[in-house]
Amino acid sequence: MSARRRILAVLGGAAAALCLVTGLIAVQASAAAGCRVAYAVASQWNGGFGASITVTNLGDPLSSWQLRWSFTAGQTVTQGWNATFSQSGSTVTAVNVDYNGSLATNASTTIGFNGSWSGSNPVPSAFTLNGVTCTGSVTGSPSTSPSTSPSPTPSITPTSTPGPPPTGLVGWATQGGGTTGGGNASATTVTSSSALTSAASGTNPAVVRVSGTISCSGMIRVGSNKTIVGNSGAVISGCGLNVSEASNVIIRNLTFRNWNDDAINVQYSTRVWIDHNTLSNGYDGAIDVKRASDYVTVSWNHVHSHDKTMLLGHSDDNGGEDRGRLRVTYHHNYFDGTNQRHPRVRFGNPVHVYNNYYRNVGGYGVASTEGAGVLVECNYFENTGDPYHLGEGDSGPGSLVARNNHMTGSGAGQTGGSVASIPYPYTCDTPSQVKSIVTSGAGAGRISV
């Protein structure tokens, strides 16, 4: 079943405080209280689904919170993140964790879960936050003035333009609750490395638009719930973006040049979408995913004039963290005269490589190593002597299944073993048409943002 996104916005007043956890703060009748909830089914499959919930506190600041709702069709929560989930019958309670318990006035936090369903999967009809029905309005008078953000530096220009919706998201980043980045947060435009560093930090939802050329060195860290998107012609030169210990991140429409570490590094992070970027002439990896990261989609990127392209899993010795994770989808990427790692895979299973165009690849295309399981399908290999193989360097072999690939002036490749099934819906383009599809659509500047 194709992914569905549903948004629920609920209006209302105060209700009696219902606390399941000792120490939660009851809402006083004289205090300002109110909340808004957006519930999204990010992906759904036979018997299961992933959902994300954004909670906005409209009342007085909270130091801790619990969100409660009821399912009406027998759904159950099976796994959650960014909150502690419990369920009694149809009633689900989500309690904050240590890093997101404080919610200032008008502040939001996003949580998510995987669940099971049978027959139907309707959206819950009502939510309460610390016992107050979320209605989108406020009761009582604020006891404190709403907090305001510090004035931005001159190089940060707030705008009201929303970031791009995650249209076209396919693959592993649709799983685990889906990937929405900064969502509909008002965008902030940055023109310097210091402004980008500031805007990309923290965990509050944010849409950060890069304008012009930002020159920098090293790595700029990107926090959770962020969309980093380039305006037309946006360039990051000399440095890269480090998505570390984060979740729900989107990076789109940027040109990376001459980075002195990695262009985009993802580590200890989940639900990341890297889409429609152009990358060239860097030092190390163009897009590397490692250290227990999971639920990542790398799509419609153009890499040229570069050696080490996309590494998945950094070390043969890191299986304790990486096994059962490192699930990544690579689709519609343009590997243009690059040399190796398209991708090189350790441990992840299944890793999905489909509808990519490989042109004049010098070393090898795809390598499956260290017990990984890689499905290579519907790609277009042109003048690529070694399109895919098992093992690489000192790394032992994994499994690789290849099917429906188009070969022009390329080798036969090496396959072996089996790969776990792909859990999400996708469509393979006709392999012989992938070259024209990818060259006309991949890279920065090919989408409207």
- Residues with catalytic function: 341
Q: Report d(CA 141, CA 133) in Å as an integer.
A: 17
What is the Cα Rg of the chain in Å? 23
Is residue 338 within 8 A of residue 321, CB to CB? The reply is no
Q: Which two tokens stand for residue 19?
A: 């606390």
The residues with which 219 forms a beta bridge, in sequence order, are: 240
The pair of structure tokens assigned to 72 is 């009406």
